[in-house]
Structure 1
Amino acid sequence: MTRLLLFLVISICSKITSQNDLYKTDTIVYNIHKTNIGKITFMNGNIPLDQYKNSDILKSFELKYKSDLNIRVFMDNSVVNYLHQLAPGLPAEILLKNGNLQFAFYVDGKLIYTENIHHGCNFGSGGNKNTSTTFRVPLTSSKGEDWWAMYMWERFKNNGGDKALTEGEHQLKIEIRPYIKEEENGAVKTGKLIAEGQIKLIIKPIVLSKQQIEVQKIQPGSDWEISNKTFNKKKIEQLNTAIGNYNLKEITSLVVIHDGKLLLEEYFNDADRNTLHDTRSAAKSFTSTLMGIAIQDSFINNENQTLSTFYDLKKFNNYEPKKDSIKIKDLLTMSSAFEGSDMNGDSPGNEDNMYPTENWVKFALDLPMDKTKTNGGQWDYFTAGVVVLGDILNKSTPEGLEKFAQEKLFKPLNITNYQWQYTPQKVPNTAGSLQMTSLEYAKYAQLYKNNGVWNGKQVLNKQWIAKTFTRQIQIPERKNEFYSYLFWNKTVEFEGKKYETFYCAGNGGNQFIIFKELPLVIIITSKAYNKPYGHPQAEKIVKEYILPAILNSGS
């Protein structure tokens, strides 16, 4: 009798809950879901739900740098319905704008990290937040997946997870709750526990071979004279060990040019001398170079020419006279007054809004002007403006930008192994991702170190390099960091001395670094795209390994 009453109470409560839900959830049809409601299960790779069995659920897992640890979460309601329980007076669209799921990570019983995932985080195929009661996400992937959950896992590791997951065995537990941010005061309200799960992680030490650790021998046929300068090889072996152990992650190459000669040429993570590296926005700097050549060859008057010289801006949306006064220089220094900022996800001119459009130049020129900005007055990273520069070059040079770059820059430097990406109008994409080998990138950077001369020929005039190697505008909120003509500027401190650098930088930790006072050029390529450690670890390579190896030379 008691059991019957309990069953009736549960049934009635369940009906009341479902009646109060905003959406009717998908029918639970698989037994594995029915038997695991309220659980986070772990699996090796992405096993489709219709093929997923209880025998696939992992109890333990050897966590490697390249692994495929996935979770599949089984709930008894949908995300939006859980949020509705927290704030029953709000419509679904507001709930999904202000809330989502909270993940809490525990290692060996200790809470390490909690994250309220962004409201825009979705759950992929079959993961509808209105009706779905199950979803799958990868925490780690060796297959090139790009998920918010993988970035969350990296943040967990960066905020104590790496220190907790030492060599040996550890119990990882994850808990999931709904959360909503209250609009009135921004306070976060968290709901009841809706799913949890744990797994034993096995962490084994990485054993590196002698070949992985030792300084890589430079092979002949590089188109570079090899330097005979002595350097501290132990420092480079320490660097190679850090990369091999994945303490420095996803580095693909390192090239060091000293006094115009090839000193170091190292490749990692399946890259080699012939690999074309996608250095993302580091390639923006090539746009500046080509603009300088176009000006010296009189195809463009100077960088003070305004956009009105090249476009009838009245034919574009949001016209106002302020647009007419935007200079090439304003776009080169990322200081135009367009309402465009890649640093602000809500900005209408953010690059993520540009890529889906049919015409990137029109997208940029259609943008409204920012009333808080003056042209040339404030730095704000703006990729669409560099696309406009590419279009100006394409329409101003004989036979277009691609042919101009080949004849005026690549051919003089004997750069033959490269690959452009293109805009929807089939113009080379000056926003980035001009792919080259590391040694070809080194030629480009060394051209600036040579004051524009290559093999006795003045490819780029000294005046343009002087302007490029001038601090044109302060970067807000970065102490002693500046921007130039699509080049970055900062000073590296080492053993009490300061060394000024100008450098090209791209997503993932890609950097081409030119030292002003030292006879040194460094190329670092990396695939740590969108990872918080990308650029910091490039800086670490320079300060903790390269400079000590060269400036404190020894065997």
Structure 2
Amino acid sequence: MNYSNLTEELKPANLVSCLISQRGQLIFEQYREPHFAETVAKINSCTKSVLSALCCIAMDQGLLPAPETPASVYFPQLAYDTASHKSEITLLHLLTMTSGMDWTEFGGQNSFPKMTRTPNWIDFVLDQPLSDIPGTKMSYNSGGSQLLAAILVQATGMSVARFAELTLFEPLGIESYQWEIDPQGIHTGGFGLSLRPIDMLKFGHLYLQQGKWGQTQLISSELIARSTQPAIRAESPRRGSYGWHWWTDTYPDRNSNDGDVPQLPYFNAYGFGGQCIYILPSIEVVVVLTNDQRKKSKIPLGVFRQSVAPYLMELIK
């Protein structure tokens, strides 16, 4: 892998960081400025994948029931709504963004900004009408992630951050983090976590190792596999499929002229502005990309597929 060429390839993106590891060893590490290596920064919607991990851990520990369990177990008002199919919403629907709620994250209804301006985010989400039968269509919904965070609090009897410290952060050696809360003090499920790039890499490596860290199985391999498998096709214009708060895809795109070009399947966490964790099991690679662009830009979305993935193809044997 020609690291000097990759460095040049990444220059237009002006990333804060790019880390690539293979089999647990760093093979590429680049920061815009040296101090970014030790700086915790918002990972935005990558928070959702951390939340997914915590849900899996809670299921492994018997604190959360099976994913097919109705969400009304935790929010009884859903069962009382006889005018819609809200009683059919399950934990799995919340994890796969298929609750059926009439929700437009940004643009249109601007559901996410509206939620964050209300005095009670959970009530706002639960009050949203349905536009689809639960389980039939994906609609990106950080409100559903907040419901999952609130469910974790009920199930574990502690804050989301404290549960993360005990079951995930401390075992991984993650000591520096920040995590925002909603007006009721519930840690944000869909965004709001800040980590160092190297700690994002540790989290990705945990998934590469199928939930095992050292000699300890932090998350069962069964739930690692299930949560990162495609559950439903992503809504347009997003590409690939969606699992339990993880995106899934393959590089490169298939077309009639591909012939025998090998494929790189991967799953990834993605946060607004270019915060990314990519796991590529077939070549035992984890990639972390972070950025701090405040203005709307499509550059962060394309960095992995346009600049990094072509170099990773060299690692296929």
TM-score by length of 2: 0.91
Equivalent AA in structure 2 for residue 296 of structure 1: D
2:169 alignment partner, one of 406, 410, 421:
410
**Greater relative contact order (Cα 8 A, min sep 6): structure 1 or 2?**
2
Q: Does the CA-based 8 Å contact 1:319-1:368 persist in structure 2? A: no
Match of 1:329 among 92, 95, 98: 92
The answer to whether the 8 Å contact 1:306/1:326 transfers is yes
CA RMSD of aligned residues (A): 2.3
Is it true that 1:500 corresponds to 2:261 in the alignment?
no
Q: CA deviation at 1:452?
A: 0.4
Matched, 1:233 2:3: yes
1:520-549, CA deviations, whole angstroms, 9 ceiling, x for partnerless residues? 0000001224323221234323134x426x
AA of the residue aligned to 2:282: E
Deviations, residues 115-141 of structure 1 (Å, cap 9, x unaligned)? xxxxxxxxxxxxxxxxxxxxxxxxxxx
Equivalent residue, structure 2, for 1:338: 101
Tell me how far 1:504 sits from its aligned partner.
0.1
Matches within 5 A, 1:8-87: none
The 3 A distance-change label for structure 1 pair 510 and 319 is farther
Secondary structure of 1:287's counterpart equals helix
Tell me if structure 2 keeps the 8 A contact 1:510–1:538: no
Could you say what secondary structure the match of 1:399 adopts? coil
Partner residue of 1:308 out of 58, 69, 72: 72
CA distance in 2, matches of 1:315, 1:325: 8
**Contact residue 42 and residue 195 of structure 2 kept, 8 A:** yes
CA distance in 2, matches of 1:367, 1:359: 13
Distance 1:463 1:272 in 2: 35
Q: 2:84·2:130 contact (CA, 8 Å) conserved in 1?
A: no
| SS of alignment partner, residue 497 of structure 1 | coil
Distance in 2 between residues matched to 1:335 and 1:343, nearest whole Å: 17
In structure 1, distance between residues paired with 2:231 and 2:316: 33
2:127 equivalent among 366, 369, 378: 366
2:151 to 388, 392, 411: 392
Shift in CA distance, 476/402, structure 1 to aligned 2, threshold 3 Å: closer
CA deviation map 1:246-296 (0-9, x unaligned): x223x1001111111122221115652211121211111111110001111
**Identity across the alignment (%):** 24
Which amino acid in structure 2 is aligned with residue 295 of structure 1?
M
Q: Distance in 2 between matches of 1:480 and 1:498?
A: 16
Select which of 112, 124, 127 maps to 1:351.
Answer: 112
Measured after TM superposition, the shift of residue 433 of structure 1 is 2.5
Alignment match, 1:286:
50
Structure 1 residue 398: Cα displacement: 3.1
Find the partner of 2:227 among 453, 468, 472: 468
| Distance apart, 1:233 and its partner CA | 2.9
> Secondary structure of the residue that 2:101 maps to in structure 1?
coil
Instruction: Give the secondary-structure state (helix, strand or coil) at the position aligned to 1:304.
Output: coil
Given that residues 250 and 265 in structure 2 are in contact (C-alpha distance below 8 angstroms), is that contact kept between their aligned partners in structure 1? yes
Higher helix share: 2
Deviation, structure 1 residue 478 = 5.7
Aligned CA distance change for structure 1 residues 360 and 440 (closer, same or farther; 3 Å) = same
> Does structure 2 conserve the Cα–Cα contact (< 8 Å) formed by 1:232 and 1:552?
no
Is 1:526 equivalent to 2:291 in the alignment? yes
Equivalent-residue separation in structure 2 for 1:329 and 1:504 (angstroms): 18
What letter matches 1:325 in structure 2? E
Among 529, 541, 553, the alignment partner of 2:307 is 541
- Which ranges of structure 2 fall in alignment gaps of 5 or more residues? none
1:378: how far off? 0.3
Q: Which amino acid in structure 2 is aligned with residue 499 of structure 1? A: L
1:314 deviation in Å? 5.9
Contact 1:252 1:270 (8 Å CA) reproduced: no
SS at match of 2:229: coil
Counterpart residue number, 2:249: 490
1:276–1:319 Cα change, 3 Å: farther
CA 1:274 to 1:479, structure 2 compared with 1: closer, same or farther past 3 Å?
Answer: closer
The residue number in structure 2 matching 1:427 is: 186
| Structure 1 stretches lacking a partner, 5+ long | 1-230
For the 8 Å contact 2:279–2:286, the answer to whether it is kept is yes
Contact 1:287 1:430 in 2 (8 A): yes
Give 1:295's aligned residue: 59
State how far apart, in whole Å, the 1-side matches of 2:245 and 2:46 are.
9
The whole-number CA distance in structure 2 between the counterparts of 1:534 and 1:311 is 37
- Partners of 1:320 and 1:402 lie apart in 2 by 36
The structure with the greater share of residues assigned to strand is 1
What is the aligned counterpart of 1:268 among 32, 55, 66?
A: 32
Q: How much has 1:238 moved relative to structure 2? A: 1.9
Match of 1:380 in 2: 139
Cα distance, 1:321 vs. partner?
5.0
SS at match of 1:511: strand
